[in-house]
């Protein structure tokens, strides 16, 4: 093949690094394909040797359900792989697995030597997290740990991280709070009680530290989100035992409404404080003074409460 013809062929197939395309490892290129008219964002699907696909040590998912893997393997055997895995090219024709470890494990179960893959040059942690969330939900601890890794790696604010993963900022903040739970709770959850809902884990993470162990014991027994919230309310009303069923001993309707109003106000304050904490680098002198006055007001309220 003449050099001129070879160069022209490479240009047509988009396999030469040029302004319209980005060169990737292993001799493959993602870019505009002039022959077929596809854009630079068109998925580049290849068939790879499984032996050349290396597991990502920062894979968000830490636990794999054996029954789910067998079911997935059966589906792939019957219908083929409908969604290729995601990989990032490495030097010498090797690849880093970004998304699809369940699919890789299913292929290994079936004894297959190759797998279809889409090449990507994006951030491995971000793409791996999004891929897992879009397919089979990560458990609460896996999700929170993956979010925390992205913050450590990129220094994201909660707002920036929410935009990356496509979640509301308050959801991201609540999920990250799970990483503040005692290590024993997180480990026990991951190994034995991952069926406890994400919402229950978020409620436990938002509870006072001295109450978290008791709430976790109730969650293991099957307590619902509603039950966990009630236990937190009972605790806040006066240190009532959160493990024991409580009778409604509140006063008249006015007193109940006052309690509900107070709880709602405190929650709003906590949410607003979280926003201020995230945006504190933009504080000007006026707003800083307002915060100082607010702190004084809160101290006065708490001092008065202690004096009663």
Q: Each residue of 224-235: b (16+ CB within 10 Å) or e?
A: eeebbbebbebb
In CATH, what number does 139-244 get?
A: 1.10.10.2830
Nearest to 32 by CA among 9, 46, 15, 53: 15
Q: Which two tokens stand for residue 168?
A: 């509301």
Ranges of each domain in the chain: 9-42, 43-137, 139-244
Q: What is the pLDDT of residue 10?
A: 43
Lowest mean pLDDT among 39-43, 54-58, 66-70, 195-199: 39-43
Q: How far, in Å, CA of 48 to CA of 201, rounded?
A: 39
Cβ pair 194, 139 in contact under 8 A: yes
Start-to-end CA distance of the chain, whole Å, equals 93
Size of the chain in residues? 308
pTM: 0.45
CA distances from 266 to 28, 62, 262 (A): 56, 36, 6
Measuring CA to CA, which residue among 27, 53, 32, 52 is closest to residue 42? 32
Domain pair 43-137 / 139-244, same fold: no
3-class SS of residue 4: helix
Q: Summarize the confidence of residues 203-222 as an average pLDDT.
A: 92
β-bridge pairing 85-89 and 114-119: parallel
How much is the CA Rg of the chain, to the nearest whole Å? Answer: 26
For residue 177, what pLDDT band results from cuts at 50, 70 and 90? very high
User: CATH 3.90.1150.10: does it fit domain 43-137?
Assistant: no
Cα–Cα nearest to 102, from 144, 139, 142, 59: 59
pLDDT, tens digit, 9 for 90 and up, residues 263-293: 777 877 877 787 777 777 778 888 888 888 8
**pLDDT tens-digit series, residues 225-278:** 999 999 999 888 865 444 444 444 444 556 766 777 777 778 778 777 877 777
């Amino acid at each position: 093949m003449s050099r001129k013809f070879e160069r022209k062929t490479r240009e047509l197939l988009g396999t030469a690094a040029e302004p319209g395309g980005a060169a990737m490892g292993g001799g493959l290129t993602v870019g505009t394909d002039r022959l077929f008219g596809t854009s630079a964002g068109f998925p580049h699907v290849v068939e790879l040797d499984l032996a050349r696909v290396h597991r990502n040590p920062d894979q968000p998912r830490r636990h794999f359900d054996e029954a789910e893997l067998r079911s997935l393997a059966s589906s792939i055997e019957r219908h083929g792989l409908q969604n290729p895995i995601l990989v990032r090219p490495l030097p010498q024709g090797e690849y880093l697995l970004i998304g699809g470890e369940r699919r890789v494990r299913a292929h290994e179960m079936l004894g297959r030597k190759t797998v279809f893959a889409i090449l990507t040059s994006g951030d491995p942690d971000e793409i791996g997290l999004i891929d897992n969330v879009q397919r089979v939900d990560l458990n609460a601890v896996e999700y929170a740990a993956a979010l925390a890794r992205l913050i450590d790696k990129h220094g994201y604010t909660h707002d920036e991280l929410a935009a990356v993963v496509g979640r509301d900022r308050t959801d991201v903040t609540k999920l990250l709070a799970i990483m503040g739970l005692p290590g024993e709770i997180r480990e026990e959850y991951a190994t034995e009680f991952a069926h406890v809902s994400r919402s229950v884990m978020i409620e436990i993470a938002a509870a006072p530290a001295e109450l978290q162990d008791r709430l976790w014991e109730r969650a293991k027994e099957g307590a619902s989100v509603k039950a966990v919230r009630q236990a937190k309310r009972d605790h806040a009303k006066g240190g009532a035992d959160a493990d024991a069923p409580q009778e409604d001993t509140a006063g008249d309707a006015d007193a109940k409404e006052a309690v509900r109003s107070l709880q709602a106000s405190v929650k709003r304050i906590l949410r607003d404080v979280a926003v201020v904490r995230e945006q504190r680098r933009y504080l000007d002198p006026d707003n800083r003074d307002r915060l100082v006055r607010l702190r004084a007001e809160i101290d006065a309220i708490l001092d008065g409460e202690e004096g009663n």
